[in-house]
Each structure stands twice: as structure tokens, then as C-alpha cells.
Amino acid sequence: MEKKNIDWSNLGFGYIQTDKRFVANYKDGAWDEGTLTEDANIVMNECAGVLQYAQTCFEGLKAYTTEDGRIVTFRPDLNAERMIDSAKRLEMPPVSKEMFIKAVKEVVAANAAYVPPYGSGATLYLRPYMFGIDPVIGVKPASQYQFRVFATPVGPYFKGGAKPITIRVCDFDRAAPHGTGHVKAGLNYAMSLHAIVDAHNQGYDENMYLDAATRTKVEETGGANFIFVTKDGKVVTPKSSTILPSITRRSLIVVAKDYLGLEVEEREVYLDELKDFAECGLCGTAAVISPVGKVVDHGKEICFPSGMEEMGPVTKKLYDTLTGIQMGRIEAPEGWICTICE
């Protein structure tokens, strides 16, 4: 199969339309089988549930070319499970795990020419999503839904790739206690847009959100969880019921313990403690592991000893091991790698 003529190594995190996407429809209480289509546009009624009341959720995962030339995805079963949780919280009919994984596999295989080559630094980002499509004007769930998966080749989420970023402690909240922070609802991202535009205008790369109830604990950013490393080499990651349960973070906990022999603490992390950490990073599918060099808390700078030039040593080991597993250089734990094309 011939690859598309794309400058893979210079891709940013943007949308490039690929050849095929998956679409399935829910009507009269059941999902149809779904099919691949070339049509990237969606036509819907002006009163569709997604347009009026933001009834939509999504997922994000990647397809990789491995060192030995296979095309694989990473733990798609966990994305399927999380999308079921998101759908339930938004009163949408979940897509079965089987259908989710089938759709992902079909979209990757149909767009194999867009899967960036091994070593290019780029990957194929997959975006499964679903939304209410029939008219609703009273506040209630739609009765018809569409589930789609499209693919787009991407490079690093943050310009500069592995260069440490600067983030600020944000005065806006991302998620309320007992709200929707733990699921991947589109509405969580809509409400973060003002905060991220404001952060960028002030010269920061990202926002650090605090817990809305007490504003003393570190939650996450708009699109990634945090990992910290203590001065004695322990990995610490915030535990909260209002953050997204990152698949990357859950995988890194295993990598840290089982591959690197590190101690891991999943616990509440107080803003006051930041000054004591040696390293900080953002983890997620898009972010992979992006090092944070500095956090600015209302003018007060917290500079991690790892500095602004490169990833800290423990973050780097976590990064190398995780990406080594994803790209087939390091043996993966059972069930983590889903091969799509040999």
C-alpha cells in the first residue's frame, strides 16, 4: 500500500480529511450495523439534540506503525468502555464495545495510507463520537443518534514536541462535583474554550484546573491528566472523581511499577505541594507525555528542577517505555496492543 504524500514529520495536531469514516445510526431503539462512507459532512435538522443541548460525547485514540511494519492501536477496549460511561451519563444509547472496536478497525484499515510511517513522529488520530440527531426543543434526550469514527494524521499536540511548556493555575473551573468531569462530554470542552483562549492570550500553553469545591487540589488540564515525580523518584498522580480517567495515565501507572520498578501514588495532590516536585508532565492520547517546566500561580512561578530545556529523567523513562510499547519496540502487557494490519 502506497502512503499519501504528506510531510509526516512536520504535522501539527490538526484536521486533515482522510478517505473513509464509519457511520452508524440509532433509530427505533436500535443501532444499525454501520458502514464506511466517503462523505465527511453531516446533514441534520436545525433542532437536533446536539445543536440545542450539546448532547454529544467523544473518544480519542491513535493508530501506530510499529517497528516491524504492523499497524496497531493501543487499548481500544478502554476507549470503548469509557464511551459507554459517557453515553450513559448523557442519556444516550451506548454503542457496544464490539461495534466500537469494529468501527475503529475498519476506519484504520480503510485509511492505512494515512497511517504515518514508523519513526516519523506522527500517528493516526482516531475520533469516535456520537450525538443526538433528531429534533428536541423541550430539554430532554434525543431519540435518534449517530455514531461516527473518523481518522486524521497528527503530530505533537504542543508545538515544540518534547520541549517543556508553561501552564497557569486557572481561575475558571472545568468540572463541578457530581458533574460530568469524569466522562468525555463535548460540553466539558465547550466550557474550557474561553479559559484556553485566555491562557494563550496571556502567553501560557495550558490551564491547570483546580477542584471546584475547594480550589486547593490539582485536577487536570483541558485535555490531559497530570503526573508528577517527587525528588526521591516516586510517581504521583492526582486522584479525583471529577477528572477524566486517562487511559494513558492508567497505562503509565503500570509502566512505572512493572517496567521501571518505581513507586506510584495515586492520591489527592495539593497546589501547595507543587513546589516540592522534581518533574511534572501532562499525559493523554494527544499529549502523550508533554513535560511541564513551569506553573504560574497568579504571578508566583513554580519552576520544576527539570527546567525548561528538556524532559526530566523519570518523565523521559516513562515516555520512552510507553512509546516503545506502542510502537512495538518493547513487549506490551497482555491485551494492550490491537493489531489491525500485519
Contact set with ligand COI (CB under 6 A): 60, 223, 284-286
Contacts (CB under 6 A) with ligand PLP, residues 187-246? 220, 223-225, 244, 246
Q: What are phi and psi of 315, to 5 degrees?
A: -55, -40
> In terms of Cα–Cα distance, which of 253, 269, 116, 82 is closest to 184?
82
Round to whole Å and give the CA distance between 149 and 128: 4
Round to whole Å and give the CA distance between 245 and 253: 12
Give the other-Cβ count within 10 Å of 35's Cβ.
12
Of ligand PLP, ligand COI, none, which one does residue 244 interact with (CB within 5 to 8 Å by kind)?
Answer: ligand PLP
In the bound complex, what is the minimum distance in angstroms from residue 218's beta carbon to ligand PLP?
Answer: 13
Of 87 and 244, CB closest to ligand PLP:
244
Contacts (CB under 6 A) with ligand PLP, residues 238-297? 244, 246-248, 284-285
Of 25 and 323, CB closest to ligand COI:
323
Residue 279: alpha-carbon gap to chain centroid: 21
Considering 20, 62, 184, 294, which one is annotated as catalytic?
Answer: 184
Of ligand COI, ligand PLP, none, which one does residue 225 interact with (CB within 5 to 8 Å by kind)?
Answer: ligand PLP
In the bound complex, what is the minimum distance in angstroms from residue 247's beta carbon to ligand PLP?
Answer: 3
In the bound complex, what is the minimum distance in angstroms from residue 281's beta carbon to ligand PLP?
Answer: 12
CB 279 within 8 A of CB 314: yes
Per-residue x/- track, 58-77, ligand PLP (CB under 6 A): --x-----------------
What is the total residue count of the chain?
342
Pairing of strands 71-74, 337-341: antiparallel
In the bound complex, what is the minimum distance in angstroms from residue 284's beta carbon to ligand COI?
Answer: 4
Q: How many CA atoms lie within 13 A of 15 on its CB side?
A: 4
Task: Write the DSSP symbol of residue 325.
Answer: H
Of 122 and 286, CB closest to ligand COI:
286
Q: What is the DSSP string of 61-111?
A: EEEEE-TTS-EEEE-HHHHHHHHHHHHHHTT--PPPHHHHHHHHHHHHHHT
In the bound complex, what is the minimum distance in angstroms from residue 61's beta carbon to ligand PLP?
Answer: 7
Residue 45: alpha-carbon gap to chain centroid: 29
Of 286 and 318, CB closest to ligand COI:
286
Of 210 and 247, CB closest to ligand PLP:
247
In the bound complex, what is the minimum distance in angstroms from residue 222's beta carbon to ligand COI?
Answer: 7
> In terms of Cα–Cα distance, which of 183, 173, 181, 60 is closest to 127?
60
Count of residues binding ligand PLP (CB under 6 A)? 11
* Helix axes of 76-89 and 97-110: crossing angle, nearest 10 degrees: 120
Round to whole Å and give the CA distance between 166 and 207: 9
Of 63 and 244, CB closest to ligand PLP:
244
Q: Which residue is nearest to ligand COI (CB)?
A: 60
Of 60 and 324, CB closest to ligand COI:
60
In the bound complex, what is the minimum distance in angstroms from residue 307's beta carbon to ligand COI?
Answer: 25
Q: Does the annotation count 4 as an active-site position?
A: no
Helices (H), the chain: 49-53, 76-89, 97-110, 186-190, 193-201, 247-254, 313-326
Q: Which residues contribute to the site for ligand PLP (CB under 6 A)?
A: 60, 220, 223-225, 244, 246-248, 284-285
- The residues carrying an active-site annotation are 184
